[in-house]
Structures are given as structure tokens and as C-alpha cells.
Chains A and B, each alone.
Chain A
Amino acid sequence: MALASGPARRALARPGRLGLGGCGAPRRGAYEWGVRSTRKPEPPPPDRVYEIPGLEPITYAGKMHFMPGLARPVFPPWDPGWTHPKYRRPPPIHEHPLYKDQPCYTFHQRCRLLEGVKQALWLTKTKLIEGLPKKVLSLVEDPRNHIENQDERVLNVISHARLWHSTEDIPKRETYCPVIVDNLIQLCKSQISKHPSLARRICAKSYTSCTTWTRESLLLQVRGASGARLSARDPLPPLASREEVEATEKHVLETFDPISPTVDLRECNVYDVKDDTGFREGYPYPHPHTLYFLETAQSRRHRFQPDQLRAKMLLFAFGSALAQARLLYGNDAKVLEQPVVVQSVGTDGRVFQFLVLQLNTTDLASNAGVKNLVWVDSDQLLYQHFWCLPVIRKKVVVEPVGPTGFQPETFKKFLALYLHGAVGVKDCSEA
């Protein structure tokens, strides 16, 4: 004992201090965020007198001032009867009428999924097929569907959106992206004289939809305002045959361990389980045809990556398809006789993503069984770059004002997706 000195002697005197302070718990825990000065101060502990039951502590409450030696009085909490609107606090979450114990994982229009399309495929129980379906591709190649002077008119549309319609030298993406999509749709609508059934459609912007479904004991919800929706009076015909649909039973959905499928989804306990297409009953154009998603953020950090944009398109298309299926065929989980088809186009003004979803089943709780199908055509450039100001080197115009690297294929696909559902009807009526 006499040989020990310093910390060793202290350790022998107080054996609890050195080493672990109590059965494996560390002496000081890991760093806790927030400095002590910004944390709420703890209330002072009540006097020891209050721990003795049956004893009435003598406090200085009657004296109206502090007295050393007397106990600190404990007053009942005072309810003033009213609160100033400035200081009103919302009631605790547990008292909200829509509070539920089971959490719901919500996807909204600003959710960026970590795993992108893979995660969206798992959440919607879908099988991915690269490239557009054959029926749509046949519409692309058919020269009867092309507009006269198509390339020239599309180039004019691009120049109008990117340069002419605004007074600024270089218009921002928030201005030119919606203009380019509106103009392309207007160009497609010019075909109404050739295909009269195109008139049985309407475009709606700023609509909110909501759909809820269960996936392996996880409650998922898609809600929010997404872009514009083209609705039609008649539904789109199914694209895959019954054999292809039944062949999806053997397909195994890709998992991404150790990441859980609910990563980047908003977990909330206050939610309403409902299916809302966004339109009331008796709407003359009930069937969703195409959803258009615009990515208008200016800086690259705020813009969605192409993978995240495709995941968002898939989830919103699935949401509207599921809501429509439940409206037509009821809320039971079953394989649909007549699959629901919804298309989707996403763009940031230059690069286009095309998506066609066929909803084959509403039985989403288990991983086995028939899966839904999605055809995705990703990263289709409409033009490589647009020069708003001419590039002049040594007094020679190297790059003139206008788009460079124009690809007409992209607009043909856009037109084909627009005409899908209307051209077939005409053929039937012709025959």
C-alpha cells in the first residue's frame, strides 16, 4: 500500500473510479450533440424532505421570501385558462385524431431514394424491362404518325423555350423547362385532325394524389403534388400478354441488404389511410394516361439525379395506377383481369426519361406471385447543348446560336407515348 503512489493510490482508495463505472457502462458516454448552454436546464431536484412520506414539510411559501433552512415549496402547475396565439403550441402527437402506432413510410415529390429505381421496384413489386414496349416502338417507326416538318418544328420549339420566349439573355431552367414540355404537347395535339380520339383527353396540373399499400408488413404511402397529368376518357390497352404476365411469377425481386427498403422514406405516425386519385367522382376523364414530371431546379445539387427522377416517376405512376385499380375493381388484393397501364415522362428540359407501367396485381403484401411490369427508356437527349449566345473566336462565329446535337428519335418517342391509346382506336374503327 505504501509503495503505490499517485493514480495507483487513488485507484486503490476508490476502486470504482478507475475502469468501468458500473457493469460495462462507460464512465462518460459518446459525444452528445448540442452544447450544454443550448440545452434546456434541468429543473432543480425537490428537497429531501419530500421523500419522507407522511411528513408535512415546512416551506417559506407563507413568508413570501426565501428563508435558509426551510424547504422549497412545490406549487401545483397553474393553468391561466387561455394562451396567447403567439405562444400556442400544437398538442402532443399522441393526441392527434389520426395518430396510429404503426408507422407509415411516405414518399412525396421531394424524396430522393438512396437506391433509386431498384428500391422503387421493390416497393412496387415490379419487374423492369429496358426499352419501350414493342407496340409503342411500332408507333415510333410508323411514318404515318409523323408530323410534317417534324424536325424543323421541334428545333423551333427548343429555340423558343430556351431563348425566344423570355427577355433574359439566358433563361433559367425554371422558365424554359415547363415551356418546352408545354410546346411539345401542343405539337403533339396538332395531330388531332388525323386522330380524332385525341380530343378525348385533358391535361391537369397541380393535382394531389394519395395511395396506401402494404408491402411485407410495411405500410407505404405515395402522396403529393407531382407534375401534370394527362387524363383520358378511355383506359389504355394492356401491353403485355397474359403469358408474359404469368411468367413474372418466377422473377425474384432484387434486395439491397444491408439497406432497408424504407431508407429515405418519411416515417410518420400521423397519417390517413386513403386512396385518392386527385379527382372527384363523375370526372369526365377518369383514366390516367401520362404523367409529366419536370425537374426545374437550377443548380445540379438541388436537381434530382436521373436515377432518382426515374424512381419518382415509377412511384407516382404506380400510385395513380393503384388508386384507379382500386376505384374500378375494389379494395381486395387480387390479380387484375384487365391490367391498368399508366405512362410517365420525366425531363429536366434536355434529357428525357420515358416509362410505361402495367399494373397486373394489387396483391402487394407478399413477394411471391404475379409482379407488375415497367418498361423504362432512360437518358434520351433531345439536344446536346443550346448556345444562347454565339461563340466567337478570333472574329469568326465558331458556334451559332441554337441547339447542337439534336436527336429526332427522342421527340418521336414522346409523340408515340402521346398517341398510344388513340392510334389503335382509329385502326379498330377503320377496320
Chain B
Amino acid sequence: MALRALTRSLASLSLAPPAAAAPGPSLLPGAQVTNNVLLQLPSASILLPCRPILTSVALSAKFVSWKSRTKYTITPVKMRKSGGRDHTGRIQVHGIGGGHKQRYRMIDFLRFRPEQETKPGPFEEKVIVVRYDPCRSADIALVAGGSRKRWIIATENMQAGDIILNSDHIGRMAVAPREGDAHPLGALPVGTLINNVESEPGRGAQYIRAAGAGNVCSNSRPRIQR
């Protein structure tokens, strides 16, 4: 595709140079000036007018991302390590590469995701197993609710058999926080340690996801939540 752009722009160039400006009056009167064309050399300052062309283009490597799976599953998925290389094949970030082969477990970062659209509202889930995840520093927990199972980031004292609550409801009173539950920030009392925070409801957790991370919820000024 890059080559096509290059050839298209080069095709707009014509082989013959355009007609030069008429020669100025010669110093020798009476002498016939023949072969004007040969004597006229284009100076470096005069650029031939032509359409803008590009003579170089970045070559993209044969890079296909391994993230081709569109359906969610709890089975580990094979992944390809990047080694710090980007889609061109050059190193973008140094110091990355090697290490044990890993399989990716698809983590659901949107905690409040009801199984069926027809049943909105807070729902509970049960923790089946908490296990090590090679792709991140935090442990992950397999939780089951209704008839679906998914992986989430496990909190510190989460154990198999716990019941966790996922809620999007903000009441007048702050909720008594339990470890592992998911609530909007407006429903939590000031001073609770929180992790897996999303910047807007429905976006999915993007902040405070690593092991040992935890932030203190400080609602010093009221913010409008969903």
C-alpha cells in the first residue's frame, strides 16, 4: 500500500523539464545565441514545480496481534510475547523480553456486569478458587454467579467459598464495606481502602490493579455519580 502511494505520486512527475524562462539580453550585441537549451543549467535555488511526493515510507513488519478471540472464556488463552517491539518490528521499550511462557487468563475488569440485561440490579457471586496469574502481580479469583464463571482480580484476604456483592446502587447511607465487594465510590464511607477503580461507571477498572496497591477513598467534595 505504501509502494502504491509512492508510485502514484511519482507518476505525476513528467520526464521533460518545463519551458525555462526566456534568456535575458546577451552582453554581446549581434552574436547569435544558438543552443539556448544546452547553456541553461537550472540553478540550485530554482525548484521545479511538482506535486508533493514522498520518497520514503515506514515499512510495517508482518505483525498480527495474538488478541484475536472475541468471545469471553475462562480457559487460558495462548499468547505471544512482544519483547518490547511494536507493530513495525523495532524495539519501542527496552528491557522487555524473555521469561517463562505464559497463557493469558481473560480477566473481567467490569465488576458490575449483570449476566442478563433483563435483570439489572446488585447481584452476588461466589468465589470458587484463588490462584496465581503469570501475567500480573496480583492473584486472580474465579467467581461464579448465575450460570456464568469469570476471572476477577482477587483482594488480599479473598478465599474460596466467599460471597461477594457487585452493586451499582448509591443509597443515602454509606454501605458497610466488606472486602471483595464492588460498590460505586459514592456509596462507600470515607477512608475505605479501594482498588480496581474505574474513572466512569461502565468503563472497567483501569487504576490500582497491581498487587499491594490500594488507595484510600477520600470524598472530600461531593461528586455526581451514576
Asked whether A260 and B147 contact (CB < 8 A) given A24-B201, A26-B203, A29-B202, the answer is yes
**Smallest Cβ-Cβ distance to B72: which chain A residue:** A33
**A263 and B109 contact, CB distance less than 8 A:** no
Name which of A20, A37, A38, A258 has the most chain B CB atoms within 10 A of its CB: A258
Contact of B109 among A31, A257, A258 (CB under 8 A): A31
A262-304 toward B: CB 8 Å interface, digit per residue (1/0)?
A: 1101010000000000000000000000000000000000000
- With a cutoff of 8 Å between Cβ atoms, the chain B residues found around residue A39 in the complex are 70
Per the bound structure, the CA–CA distance linking A24 and B224 in Å amounts to 11
How many whole Å from A275's CB to the nearest CB in chain B? 25
Contact of B67 among A34, A258, A260 (CB under 8 A): A34
Does A205 have its Cβ within 8 Å of any Cβ on chain B? no
Residues 374-390 of A at the B interface (beta carbon under 8 Å): none
Does A392 have its Cβ within 8 Å of any Cβ on chain B? no
**B65 and A263 contact, CB distance less than 8 A:** no
**A30 and B146 contact, CB distance less than 8 A:** no
How many whole Å from A308's CB to the nearest CB in chain B? 13
How many whole Å from A20's CB to the nearest CB in chain B? 6
**B110 and A38 contact, CB distance less than 8 A:** no
Does A27 have its Cβ within 8 Å of any Cβ on chain B? yes
Per the bound structure, the CA–CA distance linking A212 and B18 in Å amounts to 87
**A26 and B201 contact, CB distance less than 8 A:** yes
Per the bound structure, the CA–CA distance linking A37 and B68 in Å amounts to 8
How many whole Å from B15's CB to the nearest CB in chain A? 26
- With a cutoff of 8 Å between Cβ atoms, the chain A residues found around residue B72 in the complex are 33
Per the bound structure, the CA–CA distance linking A232 and B216 in Å amounts to 70
**A258 and B124 contact, CB distance less than 8 A:** yes
Does A259 have its Cβ within 8 Å of any Cβ on chain B? yes
Asked whether A263 and B149 contact (CB < 8 A) given A35-B65, A35-B68, A37-B64, the answer is yes
- With a cutoff of 8 Å between Cβ atoms, the chain B residues found around residue A33 in the complex are 67, 69-72, 106
- With a cutoff of 8 Å between Cβ atoms, the chain B residues found around residue A256 in the complex are 126
Q: How many residues of A contact B (CB 8 A)?
A: 26
Residues 229-270 of A at the B interface (beta carbon under 8 Å): 256-260, 262-263, 265, 267
How many whole Å from B131's CB to the nearest CB in chain A? 13
**Smallest Cβ-Cβ distance to A21: which chain B residue:** B200
Per the bound structure, the CA–CA distance linking A32 and B144 in Å amounts to 20
How many whole Å from A307's CB to the nearest CB in chain B? 13
**Smallest Cβ-Cβ distance to A30: which chain B residue:** B204
Does A25 have its Cβ within 8 Å of any Cβ on chain B? yes
How many whole Å from A116's CB to the nearest CB in chain B? 12
**B69 and A34 contact, CB distance less than 8 A:** yes
- With a cutoff of 8 Å between Cβ atoms, the chain B residues found around residue A28 in the complex are 203
How many whole Å from B31's CB to the nearest CB in chain A? 53
**B204 and A257 contact, CB distance less than 8 A:** no
**B68 and A258 contact, CB distance less than 8 A:** no
Asked whether A26 and B69 contact (CB < 8 A) given A114-B149, A258-B125, A259-B126, the answer is no
**A34 and B70 contact, CB distance less than 8 A:** yes
**B146 and A260 contact, CB distance less than 8 A:** yes
Q: How many residues of B contact A (CB 8 A)?
A: 30
**B200 and A258 contact, CB distance less than 8 A:** no
**A114 and B144 contact, CB distance less than 8 A:** yes
**A114 and B65 contact, CB distance less than 8 A:** no
Contact of A38 among B68, B106, B204 (CB under 8 A): B68
Per the bound structure, the CA–CA distance linking A256 and B201 in Å amounts to 30
Per the bound structure, the CA–CA distance linking A260 and B124 in Å amounts to 11
Residues 149-205 of B at the A interface (beta carbon under 8 Å): 149, 163, 200-204
Contact of A37 among B65, B69, B149 (CB under 8 A): B65
**Smallest Cβ-Cβ distance to A267: which chain B residue:** B147
- With a cutoff of 8 Å between Cβ atoms, the chain B residues found around residue A31 in the complex are 109-110, 204
B114-125 toward A: CB 8 Å interface, digit per residue (1/0)?
A: 000000000111
Residues 1-49 of A at the B interface (beta carbon under 8 Å): 20, 24-35, 37-39
- With a cutoff of 8 Å between Cβ atoms, the chain B residues found around residue A25 in the complex are 202
Name which of A25, A31, A34 has the most chain B CB atoms within 10 A of its CB: A31
- With a cutoff of 8 Å between Cβ atoms, the chain B residues found around residue A38 in the complex are 64-65, 67-68, 70
**Smallest Cβ-Cβ distance to B68: which chain A residue:** A38
Asked whether A263 and B147 contact (CB < 8 A) given A25-B202, A258-B124, the answer is yes
**A29 and B203 contact, CB distance less than 8 A:** yes
**B128 and A114 contact, CB distance less than 8 A:** yes
- With a cutoff of 8 Å between Cβ atoms, the chain A residues found around residue B71 in the complex are 33
Does B226 have its Cβ within 8 Å of any Cβ on chain A? yes
A to B CB contacts below 8 Å, 23 in the list: A20-B200, A26-B202, A26-B203, A28-B203, A29-B204, A30-B110, A32-B70, A33-B69, A33-B72, A34-B70, A35-B67, A35-B68, A38-B64, A38-B65, A38-B67, A258-B124, A258-B126, A258-B145, A258-B146, A259-B126, A259-B147, A263-B148, A265-B147
Given contact pairs A29-B204, A263-B147, a sample of 16 additional A-B residue pairs in the complex whose CB atoms are under 8 Å apart: A20-B226, A24-B226, A26-B201, A27-B203, A28-B203, A29-B203, A30-B202, A31-B109, A32-B70, A34-B68, A38-B64, A38-B65, A258-B146, A259-B145, A260-B147, A263-B148
- The 7 lowest CB-CB distance pairs between A and B, nearest first, are A30-B204, A34-B70, A26-B202, A30-B110, A38-B68, A258-B124, A35-B65
User: B-contacting residues of A (Cβ < 8 Å)?
Assistant: 20, 24-35, 37-39, 114, 256-260, 262-263, 265, 267
